[in-house]
Amino acid sequence: MPLNDLVEANAILPALRVTTKKQALQDISDRAAEISGMSARDIFDALLQRERLGSTGVGGGIAIPHGKMPKTDRIFGVFARLERPIDFDALDGDPVDLIFLLIAPEGAGADHLKALSRIARALRDPGLTSRLRATRDASGLYLLLTQTTASFAA
């Protein structure tokens, strides 16, 4: 599943200014709501519920918060590059500056897991993450995320 199937050009936050994990999740939920028409509060609550199970900060400055929503019929994402890294309770203890939110329908099952795997694989590439960190505009970030997908196919 290529990343261009998961993220649209209007789902990129190139310079998110937040100081806490909660604030980051709220701002990203707001963008996800704009894209999907769902309630930002419902998205935020689903993300918080998932975070209570364990941090989605996967290490290396990357977090992949995710949740399942009953009011969507498609898997989609929002990507944020933070102005400054924040504490995200990541597995390695490092602060996070790249966040890829993933929302899936409640019944997505294997497709949800494939999408998470695809995102994690792509963001494990140090070349891609360094280019994402160096890029300051939404269109450049979108191109990086959607044009470098071939070698990460699930």
Q: How far apart are CA 97 and CA 68, in angstroms?
A: 23
Q: How far apart are CA 128 and CA 14, in angstroms?
A: 15
Q: How far apart are CA 57 and CA 63, in angstroms?
A: 4
CA dist 91 → 87, 88, 96, 138, 147 (Å): 11, 9, 11, 28, 29
Q: Based on the residue annotation, tell me whether 112 is a catalytic residue of this protein.
A: no
Q: How far apart are CA 154 and CA 138, in angstroms?
A: 25
Can you give the C-alpha Rg of the chain in angstroms? 14
Catalytic residue of the set 3, 33, 56, 66: 66
Length of the chain: 154
Closest CA to 20 of 95, 123, 93, 98: 95
**Residues recognised as catalytic:** 66
